[in-house]
């Protein structure tokens, strides 16, 4: 009887917990949707405030409105953490607050830049992005408030999102915001700042990605917040006159993200395929920018396009799709450009053709592909044949010396072939058997 009563109670307990489990899952799903909706509404409200163009408001007032918005988000985080004892909402509020802080930093930077350069300051076309005629006292006060909030809010936000990597995230974020604060708008100097900041963020990003916990939603959010100042600097730089160096740096960033880094975030075929072609066009665009800037292109100067073939070869080792096609196109480009340069009697064209041929031959051996290998052999042969006219003239000027040298070479060749005939035949058969197995 005891066993029967125990089973009945256990069965009732299981049936009683099933509705509770279902209710819990439904509640979690509803709260997750509500958090997403609330976050989207907050972001859209902030964007709407900026796009409405409140140019009639004084710059200081616009800054204080944004500051109040950030403080309101922080208050929401404190309410969730200490009143409701709920950490998910607190992480969202402090994360949004940390996301809006770079905007405040950018506004203070605009104030400092306008005051520092005066009438010579470059201003964007949109009035609501201009922060001019602000007194030094207000600028100093805004700077101190923003600096204090930057450290405090980022500390709270990163501590809730990824406490294990708090020092790295906090130090990198503060450094990025400090660069965002610099009153610099020159196209060349800002390009150097963007390049340095990108390398710093990419180094930190690669270190953080090795930790599996940083690939979860909270870790990805922390990494995105760390990189946000870079994208604000890039967007702000596009509102001012650019330079060829800035265009090259932005193209290099596109190449790094679309070719090298995208594989860390997704394995979706369509995204990888699309990003691969975008990165390829950006890489080729870097060299085209150099050609345009320094006026290197001319109708007879074919050699200036050889770096495009080298770019395709370099990318073929990192792309996921059509790697052999990249090398095939690069091989055809090298053959066509080098032979075109020789036909136009360009300086050092034969030497460049032989060097390119050796490069293609080695690449063909490394990748075990026929197209680069035979293209390289063709370039080497074409480069040496270019000097055939010089060899004929040399033979005609001193025929007796040339005949003696030729006779000695033929005798030595015959002796070598007779002594190494088996080894040469074995190597030849092995060579052709290997070629049959190549793609």
**What are the two backbone dihedrals, phi and then psi, of residue 284, each rounded to the nearest 5 degrees?**
-65, -35
From first to last of its 439 residues, the chain has per-residue pLDDT tens of 444 444 444 444 544 455 666 677 888 888 888 888 888 888 787 777 766 655 567 777 888 888 888 889 889 888 988 888 888 888 888 888 899 899 889 989 988 998 888 877 777 777 767 788 888 899 999 999 999 999 999 999 999 999 999 999 999 999 999 999 998 888 899 999 999 999 999 999 999 988 888 888 889 999 999 999 999 999 999 988 889 999 999 999 999 999 999 988 888 889 999 999 999 999 999 999 999 898 887 766 777 889 999 999 999 999 999 999 999 999 999 999 999 888 888 778 888 899 999 999 889 888 888 889 999 999 999 888 887 766 666 666 777 676 777 778 778 877 877 787 777 677 767 666 766 777 6
Distances (CA, A) of 319 to 257, 262, 310: 12, 11, 14
Contact 368, 394 (CB under 8 A): no
> Is 347 inside a domain boundary?
yes
406: left (phi over 0), alpha (psi -120 to 50) or beta: alpha
Same domain, 169 and 41: yes
Alpha carbon distance 85, 96 (integer Å)? 19
Same domain, 306 and 178: no
Contact 166, 156 (CB under 8 A): no
> Is 323 inside a domain boundary?
yes
Residue where a domain stops, chosen among 338, 370, 386: 386
pTM here?
Answer: 0.82
> Is 439 inside a domain boundary?
no
Domains in the chain, number: 2
> Is 341 inside a domain boundary?
yes
Same domain, 172 and 44: yes
Alpha carbon distance 57, 64 (integer Å)? 11
Same domain, 46 and 175: yes
Sign of CA dihedral 162, 163, 168, 172: positive
> Is 110 inside a domain boundary?
yes
Alpha carbon distance 350, 365 (integer Å)? 23
Structural domain harbouring 55 = 28-182
């Amino acid at each position: 009887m005891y066993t029967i009563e125990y089973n009945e109670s256990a069965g009732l307990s299981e049936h009683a917990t099933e509705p509770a489990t279902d209710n819990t899952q439904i509640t979690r799903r509803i709260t997750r949707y509500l958090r997403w909706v609330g976050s989207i509404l907050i972001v859209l409200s902030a964007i709407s405030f900026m796009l409405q163009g409140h140019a009639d408001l004084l710059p200081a007032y616009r800054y204080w409105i944004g500051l109040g918005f950030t403080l309101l988000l922080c208050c929401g985080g404190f309410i969730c953490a200490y009143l409701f004892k709920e950490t998910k909402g607190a992480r969202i509020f402090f994360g949004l607050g940390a996301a809006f802080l770079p905007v405040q930093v950018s506004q203070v930077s605009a104030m400092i830049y306008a005051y520092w350069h005066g009438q010579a300051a470059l201003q964007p076309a949109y009035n609501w992005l201009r922060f001019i005629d602000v007194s030094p006292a207000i600028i100093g006060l805004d700077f101190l408030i923003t600096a204090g909030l930057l450290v405090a809010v980022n500390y709270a936000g990163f501590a809730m999102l990824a406490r294990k990597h708090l020092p790295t995230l906090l130090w990198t974020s503060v450094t990025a915001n400090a660069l965002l604060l610099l009153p610099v708008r020159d196209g060349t100097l800002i390009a150097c700042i963007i390049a340095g900041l990108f390398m710093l963020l990419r180094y930190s990003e690669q270190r953080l990605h090795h930790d599996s916990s940083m690939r979860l939603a909270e870790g990805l959010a922390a990494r995105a917040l760390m990189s946000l100042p870079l994208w604000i600097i890039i967007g702000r730089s596009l509102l001012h006159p650019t330079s060829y160096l800035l265009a090259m740096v932005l193209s290099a960033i596109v190449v790094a993200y679309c070719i090298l880094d995208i594989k860390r975030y997704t394995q979706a075929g369509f995204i990888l395929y699309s990003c691969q072609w975008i990165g390829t066009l950006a890489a080729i665009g870097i060299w085209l920018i150099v050609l345009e800037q320094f006026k290197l292109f001319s109708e007879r100067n074919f050699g200036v396009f050889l770096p495009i073939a080298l770019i395709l070869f370099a990318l073929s080792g990192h792309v996921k799709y059509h790697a052999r096609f990249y090398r095939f196109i690069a091989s055809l480009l090298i053959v066509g450009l080098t032979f075109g340069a020789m036909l136009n009697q360009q300086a050092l064209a034969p030497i460049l053709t032989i060097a390119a041929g050796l490069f293609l031959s080695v690449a063909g051996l490394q990748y075990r592909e026929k197209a680069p290998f035979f293209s390289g052999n063709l370039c080497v042969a074409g480069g040496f044949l270019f000097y055939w006219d010089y060899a004929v003239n040399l033979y005609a000027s001193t025929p007796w010396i040339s005949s003696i040298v030729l006779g000695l070479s033929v005798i030595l060749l015959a002796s070598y072939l007779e002594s190494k005939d088996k080894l040469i035949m074995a190597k030849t058969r092995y060579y052709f058997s290997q070629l049959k197995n190549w793609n």
